[in-house]
Amino acid sequence: MASSTGKSFLGRFGVHIAVLIFVAIWTIPTLGILVSSLRDKNQLAVTGWWTALVTSSQNDDGRLGTAADQVEKDGKFLIMGNLLKAGDNRTISAFGIKSQAPTEFAAGAVADLGDGVTLQVNDDGFYVQSSPVAFEGDRGRRIYFASSMPPRFTTDNYQTVLFSEGIGRSFINSLTVTIPATIIPILIAAFAAYALAWMRFPGRALLIATIIGLLVVPLQMSLIPLLKLYNGVGLFFGVPAKTYLGIWLAHTGFGLPFAIYLLRSYIAGLPREIMESARIDGASDFEIFIKIVLPLSFPVLASFAIFQFLWVWNDLLVAMVFLGSGSDQLVLTGKLNALLGSRGGNWEILTTSAFVTILVPLAVFFSLQRYFVRGLLAGSVKGG
Amino acid sequence: MTAQILSAVFTIIIGVGGCVVYFWTANRLLDVIFPSRGVSGAAAIDNLRRQGYIRPWLFVGPAMLILAVYLIYPVVATLILSVHDRTGQNFVGMANYSWAFGDREFLQAIFNNILWLAVVPAACTFLGLIIAVLTDKIWWGNIAKSLVFAPLAISFVGASVIWKFVYEYRGEGQAQIGILNAIVQYFGGNPQVWISTPFWNNFFLMVILIWIQTGFAMVILSSALRGIPDETIEAATIDGASGFQIFWKIMIPQIWGTIAVVWTTITILVLKVFDIVLTMTNGQWNSNTLANLMFDWMFRGGGDFGRGAAIAVIIMLAVVPIMIWNIRQANREGGGH
């Protein structure tokens, strides 16, 4: 169908432009947090991330040193110091002493403040205030200045979120939840799918219909009874109600209908001859399953594994209900949600944390896209 | 850090190992109790038959047990809880439901959910279809598809942070760091506080879900479009059909079934939308939805399980028609062997 429309040069050009616009809309938001996570946090707070490569300028104010700092030299009283903090990496372009005219004097110029008092501010922030009579008072003079920062990229934000904001810890927690919650349902579903496809037993058709019905049962229906059940079990046995085992089983339960559905339709399609010849050779169903069905089902197992991995890694609801909010159990999505509340304005922390949380699923996605798409096409009725 | 990783690895091995051990031991035991090898012919046949009775249940047993505990029992229990009070002890009849339909917050959530249902599945399917058709015509189509598809791998929370940054508001006259307000300001408009402007904020939250789900619609529809036989389209071209005519009169009718599948899948997802609302507004500024309201009632004031369960049942009721359609569809395709 590729050649049927858009034959004219203009038409072809239009298609390229249209797709380009779509791609831009779909990638720019993510690009924004990636770029922001690598920017200096002071720059991030005042300028848009799309200006990351441009020198940014900002207006600031500060105070000069007080009378206690003055030194006498050649009959003049001097207060000296630096307006910028060490390592600030900024350049002062202009300064002023009135808020109405914050950039009255260029950097390096000597400003006459009246009564013989002068002030000179250099572009590196160094200043000299000089007066023929001694300074008095315990408050320094307020001064306004404009400074510019060259573009600056840093990995400081990653250091901060991974090691002092607790994202590193949550990363490990997420892995602890995700890996078993991906493997356990695969094992359980694969056995069940084989039985449902190739073994004869009463009630099989009913079981299959039930599983298809359960595909679309909303998670919400399960939460309250399970929360009560977990609390009850915890109380009865005197164990914590919120455990990793609890969430693995919950994710297994929620993932099973889709897993069995997907795996069964694949396993049922395997050639009958292979299994029958194995059975004639005296292999039991267990042996057939382990030695023949599992290896042959690799593509569909991979598809489901990717689905379940992404679903569990990205889940917030189940983790909030079945895991605690302490640092030993808080997963990445929960941590990110908590940071949105406590660090709502600290975009350097939010963007960096968000990028850490989406890094793993994006890597899985791009490297295993083929299996992911195959699974999507085979079972596009996922309830979860 | 090492201790954490070690304990995580340990927990993982216990969890996965336990599962492997069950299947292996159970099947081994069956072979030992009813041996089919090394016994006389008649006994072997007898034992094989017994194995044949028991083994299917060893295979489906764990799945059935987990489905019963994690899905079937909860569905029944939620129905029962929804006609009980906040503690789940006292029967209150339909009180939770009549409360819900008199509650301003609940009605707001229903209204918003309907709005979401009206916009999101339609928008995803429409955009997905357009992108699928356009990317089929160009040489870098697969790269473009990958990029549009990628947000599907991003969590709702992650996507919420991404879009909260897009929507970020700074006062008028200040340099905007959110790209949407920067664009608005560039064209001379006034920056807006997008996510706390009632009614319209719903649409800004929907954009996030559309952004995530369009890739899904695109991939499914794209594969359906490829399934249309070339001859059909060639025949139409020879008959002098224009591009638009081919699209509307030939392609769309051919993939109608797939469009329905995409539409219903996204509809179910929309009914359950929770993370986006929780992280963006937590239901403030009239942006609540049923799933978030339900979560709220699970814990609000120590938790009101009756009201929470009633809201869950209402979400479920909305899904039931789709569920029936699903089972019918599956039966029509034949139940396998």
With 50 as the cut, is the pLDDT of residue A1 above it? no
Q: Is residue B90 part of a domain?
A: no
Q: ipTM of the assembly? A: 0.86
Residue of B nearest to A359 (CA): B154
Q: What is the mean pLDDT of chain B?
A: 86
> Which residue of A12, A13, A25, A26 is the best one to mutate when testing the B interface, meaning the one whose CB has the most B CBs within 10 A?
A26
Last residue of a domain, one of A128, A149, A170: A149
- What are the C-alpha distances in Å from A168 to residues A40, A157, A160, A331, B260? 21, 13, 10, 10, 42
pLDDT tens string B261-314: 888 888 888 888 888 998 888 888 888 898 899 888 887 766 788 888 899 999
Q: Is residue A1 part of a domain?
A: no
Do A18 and B165 lie within an 8 Å CB cutoff? no
Do A214 and B144 lie within an 8 Å CB cutoff? no
Q: Is residue B121 part of a domain?
A: yes
Q: Are residue B240 and residue B299 in the same domain, yes or no?
A: yes
Q: Are residue B177 and residue B231 in the same domain, yes or no?
A: yes
Q: Are residue A93 and residue A45 in the same domain, yes or no?
A: no
- Residue A195 maps to which CATH number? 1.10.3720.10
Last residue of a domain, one of B81, B113, B131: B81
Task: Name the residue among B78, B127, B136 with its Cβ closest to that of A225.
Answer: B78
Q: Are residue A45 and residue A61 in the same domain, yes or no?
A: no
The C-alpha of A136 sits at a distance from chain B's nearest C-alpha, in angstroms, of 37
Torsion angle of C-alpha atoms B193, B195, B196, B200, degrees rounded to 10: 100
pLDDT tens string A262-274: 899 889 888 888 8
Q: Are residue A43 and residue A67 in the same domain, yes or no?
A: no
Q: Are residue B143 and residue B251 in the same domain, yes or no?
A: yes
Residues 6+ apart with CB under 8 A from A282: B37
Full strand arrangement of the beta sheet holding A110-112 = A71-73, A76-82, A126-131, A118-121, A110-112
> Which chain B residues contact residue A249 at CB under 8 A?
66, 70
The C-alpha of B285 sits at a distance from chain A's nearest C-alpha, in angstroms, of 16
Among the listed ranges A3-7, A29-33, A250-254, B162-166, which one has the minimum average pLDDT value?
A3-7
Q: What is the mean pLDDT of chain A?
A: 84
Q: Are residue B117 and residue B196 in the same domain, yes or no?
A: yes
> Which chain A residues contact residue B141 at CB under 8 A?
19
With 50 as the cut, is the pLDDT of residue B332 above it? yes
Q: Is residue A272 part of a domain?
A: yes
pLDDT tens string A105-153: 888 888 888 778 888 888 888 888 888 888 877 778 888 888 877 777 8
Q: Are residue A173 and residue A275 in the same domain, yes or no?
A: yes
Q: Are residue B169 and residue B264 in the same domain, yes or no?
A: yes
Task: Name the residue among B12, B158, B243 with its Cβ closest to that of A6.
Answer: B243
The pair of structure tokens assigned to A72 is 């006498």
Q: Is residue A222 part of a domain?
A: yes
Rounded CA separation B315/A303 (Å): 29
pLDDT tier at B1, thresholds 50, 70, 90 = low
Task: Name the residue among B5, B163, B264 with its Cβ closest to that of A172.
Answer: B5
Using CB atoms within 10 A of its CB, is residue B153 exposed (0-12), middle (13-18) or buried (19+)?
buried
Do B37 and A373 lie within an 8 Å CB cutoff? no
Q: Which residues of A82-121 are buried (b: 16+ CB within 10 A; e: fewer)?
A: ebbeeeeebbbebbbbeeeebeebebeeebeeeeebebbb
Q: Is residue B92 part of a domain?
A: no
With 90 as the cut, is the pLDDT of residue A165 above it? no
Torsion over CA: B222, B223, B228, B233 (sign): positive
Task: Name the residue among A49, A217, A252 with its Cβ closest to that of B75.
Answer: A217
Instruction: Domain count for chain B, please give it.
Output: 2
> Which chain B residues contact residue A44 at CB under 8 A?
177
Task: Name the residue among B1, B216, B337 with its Cβ closest to that of A197.
Answer: B337
More confident site: B209 or B244:
B209
Segment A180-201 mean pLDDT: 90
Q: Which domain holds residue B275?
A: 97-332
Do A317 and B274 lie within an 8 Å CB cutoff? yes
- Residue B303 maps to which CATH number? 1.10.3720.10
Q: Are residue B34 and residue B159 in the same domain, yes or no?
A: no
Q: How confident is the model at residue B38, as a pLDDT? A: 74
Rounded CA separation B70/A229 (Å): 10
Q: How much helix, strand and coil, in percent to the nearest 5, is found in chain A?
A: 60, 15, 30
pLDDT tier at A7, thresholds 50, 70, 90 = low
Q: Is residue A383 part of a domain?
A: no
Q: Are residue A206 and residue A354 in the same domain, yes or no?
A: yes
With 70 as the cut, is the pLDDT of residue A4 above it? no
pLDDT tens string A12-41: 788 899 999 999 999 999 998 888 888 887
Q: Are residue B229 and residue B175 in the same domain, yes or no?
A: yes
The pair of structure tokens assigned to B291 is 């799933």
With 60 as the cut, is the pLDDT of residue A5 above it? no
pLDDT tens string A268-300: 888 888 888 888 888 888 888 888 899 999 989
Q: Are residue A162 and residue A123 in the same domain, yes or no?
A: no
Q: Are residue B261 and residue B141 in the same domain, yes or no?
A: yes
Q: Are residue B168 and residue B304 in the same domain, yes or no?
A: yes
> Which chain B residues contact residue A211 at CB under 8 A?
67
State whether residue A96 is helix, strand or coil: strand
Q: Are residue B162 and residue B64 in the same domain, yes or no?
A: no
Q: Are residue A143 and residue A212 in the same domain, yes or no?
A: no
Q: Which residues of B312-321 are buried (b: 16+ CB within 10 A; e: fewer)?
A: bbbbbebbee
With 50 as the cut, is the pLDDT of residue A87 above it? yes
> Which chain B residues contact residue A159 at CB under 8 A?
none
Segment B172-195 mean pLDDT: 84
Q: How confident is the model at residue B335, as a pLDDT? A: 45
Rounded CA separation B110/B50 (Å): 55
Q: Are residue A292 and residue A164 in the same domain, yes or no?
A: yes
Q: How confident is the model at residue A185, as a pLDDT? A: 92
- Asked if residues A247 and A176 have their Cβ atoms less than 8 Å apart, the reply is no
Q: Is residue B87 part of a domain?
A: no
pLDDT tens string B116-148: 999 999 999 999 999 998 888 888 888 999 999
Return residues 23-82 of B near A (CB < 8 Å): 23, 27, 31, 36-37, 51-53, 55-60, 62-64, 66-67, 69-75, 77-78, 81
Instruction: Domain count for chain A, please give it.
Output: 3
Q: Are residue B60 and residue B170 in the same domain, yes or no?
A: no
Q: Are residue B142 and residue B43 in the same domain, yes or no?
A: no
Percent of chain B with pLDDT over 90: 22
The candidate with the shortest Cα–Cα distance to A81, out of A102, A64, A93, is A64
- Asked if residues A222 and A254 have their Cβ atoms less than 8 Å apart, the reply is yes
pLDDT tens string A198-256: 888 888 888 988 888 888 888 888 888 898 899 888 888 888 888 888 899 999 999 99
Q: Which domain holds residue A106?
A: 56-149
Last residue of a domain, one of A115, A149, A183: A149
Among the listed ranges A361-365, B34-38, B204-208, B328-332, which one has the minimum average pLDDT value?
B328-332
Q: Is residue A2 part of a domain?
A: no
